């Protein structure tokens, strides 16, 4: 295992590489305000954040990553276009997997540029791929935006589409909801009894929900129960989309075919095509570059387009050695009315050194 000194030296080397690509080095504080950030990270990171508080600053947390603080900083007073880099520790509880580090060094490269998003995607990927030279790891790419577009285009209620959209990053829950909305699974008996009026509502209230909130939830469940099931054809198209797992040219061909029956995904597929051309211009051999339509669904919930990662060869137990993606919607949420297309990626220098030194 590399020493802390070796890891920090590698981190400094990587940060210098990104500075050579025009990035400005920034250092967001280790302690971040928790109230806003916890809502942005999604369930997985919220459950693993180290949270504390004091009378002056309120609830704080140890930063679980750099991207959100960097977006906050840029949207508050950054010029555009802009490139940033950073290096430092991030912190995540690992109560269910003690073998994984709960504190490690992360180095990143972020681009804020509205001129040519496809070119920015390609630049981030190519720059990180260059930094990964010599590390036994293989890349994989995907695009969360295609599945988002497919869900948005479903012919069903907005409430159902919102529920599926919230659970894109939880594949099992997404699958369960899709089956339920398609009428492929039974309604839980407790819900059936509730909607039939067989549950006593005069009992004392327990928990944090008010009676109005409970009644609103029952009304929502009744509305859903009355909605017709998703057509089998729609569900089949979603399943076919999630099964796309090819090299990029073959994946694009399959996605273009799917767009004939699922025209809502056509703009997202066009963006993938533009990105493929930009990657080629950066010297990336896209004929050998894997694309998985389901990739990125267990990563950060702020990604909403291009996603990528580098997986260690022969070490499936390790997390991604490098990963990243596009997070345009995050800039809208933190921009107080402003927004700018943004993409970035991070590397773990400690794991890079570990793999480089392995026999």
* 1-136+313-359 fold: BirA Bifunctional Protein; domain 2 (3.30.930)
pLDDT digits (tens, 9 = 90+) for 170-191: 899 999 999 989 987 666 666 5
Report percent pLDDT > 90 for the chain. 63
pLDDT digits (tens, 9 = 90+) for 222-233: 666 667 889 889
CATH 3.90.650.10 at 138-171+230-309, yes or no: no
At 46, is the pLDDT very low, low, confident or very high (cuts 50, 70, 90)?
A: low
Residues of the chain with CATH 3.30.930.10: 1-136+313-359, 138-171+230-309
At 80, is the pLDDT very low, low, confident or very high (cuts 50, 70, 90)?
A: confident
pLDDT digits (tens, 9 = 90+) for 290-326: 999 999 988 778 899 999 999 999 999 899 999 999 9
Q: Residue range 36-62: average pLDDT?
A: 75
pLDDT confidence of residue 185: 66
* More confident of the two residues 203 and 6: 6
Q: Provide the mean pLDDT of the chain.
A: 88
349 pLDDT above the threshold of 70: yes
Out of 134-143, 178-187, 204-213, least confident range: 204-213
pLDDT confidence of residue 308: 98
Q: How far is CA 165 from CA 145, 227, 343, in A?
A: 11, 18, 21
Q: Residue range 143-150: average pLDDT?
A: 96
């Amino acid at each position: 295992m590399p020493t802390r000194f070796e890891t920090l030296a590698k981190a400094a080397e990587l940060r210098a590489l990104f500075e050579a690509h025009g990035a400005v080095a920034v250092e967001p504080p280790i302690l971040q305000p928790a109230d806003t950030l916890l809502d942005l990270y999604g369930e997985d990171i919220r459950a693993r954040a180290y949270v504390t508080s004091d009378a002056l600053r309120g609830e704080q947390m140890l930063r679980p990553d750099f991207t959100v603080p960097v977006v906050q900083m840029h949207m508050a007073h950054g010029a555009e276009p802009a490139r940033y880099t950073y290096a430092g520790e991030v912190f995540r509880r690992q109560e269910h997997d003690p073998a994984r580090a709960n504190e490690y060094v992360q180095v990143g490269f972020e681009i804020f540029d509205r001129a040519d998003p496809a070119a920015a995607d390609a630049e981030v990927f190519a720059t990180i791929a260059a930094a990964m030279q010599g590390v036994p790891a293989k890349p994989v790419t995907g695009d969360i935006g295609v599945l988002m577009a497919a869900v948005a285009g479903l012919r069903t209620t907005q409430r159902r589409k919102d529920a599926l959209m919230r659970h894109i990053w939880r594949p099992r829950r997404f699958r369960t909801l899709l089956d339920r909305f398609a009428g492929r699974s039974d309604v839980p008996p407790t819900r059936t009894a509730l909607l039939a009026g067989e549950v006593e509502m005069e009992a004392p209230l327990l928990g944090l929900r008010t009676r109005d909130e409970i009644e609103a939830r029952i009304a929502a469940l009744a509305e859903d129960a009355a909605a017709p099931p998703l057509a089998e054809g729609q569900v089949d198209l979603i399943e076919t989309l999630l099964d796309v797992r090819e090299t990029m040219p073959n994946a694009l061909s399959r996605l273009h075919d799917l767009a004939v029956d699922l025209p809502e995904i056509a703009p997202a597929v066009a963006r993938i095509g533009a990105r493929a051309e930009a990657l080629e211009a950066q010297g990336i051999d896209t004929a050998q570059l894997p694309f998985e339509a389901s990739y990125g669904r267990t990563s950060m919930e702020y990604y909403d387009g291009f996603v990528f990662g580098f997986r260690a060869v022969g070490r499936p137990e390790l997390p991604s050695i490098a990963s990243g993606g596009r997070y345009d919607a995050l800039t809208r949420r933190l921009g107080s009315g402003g927004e700018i297309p943004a993409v970035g990626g991070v590397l773990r220098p400690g794991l890079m050194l570990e793999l480089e030194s392995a026999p």
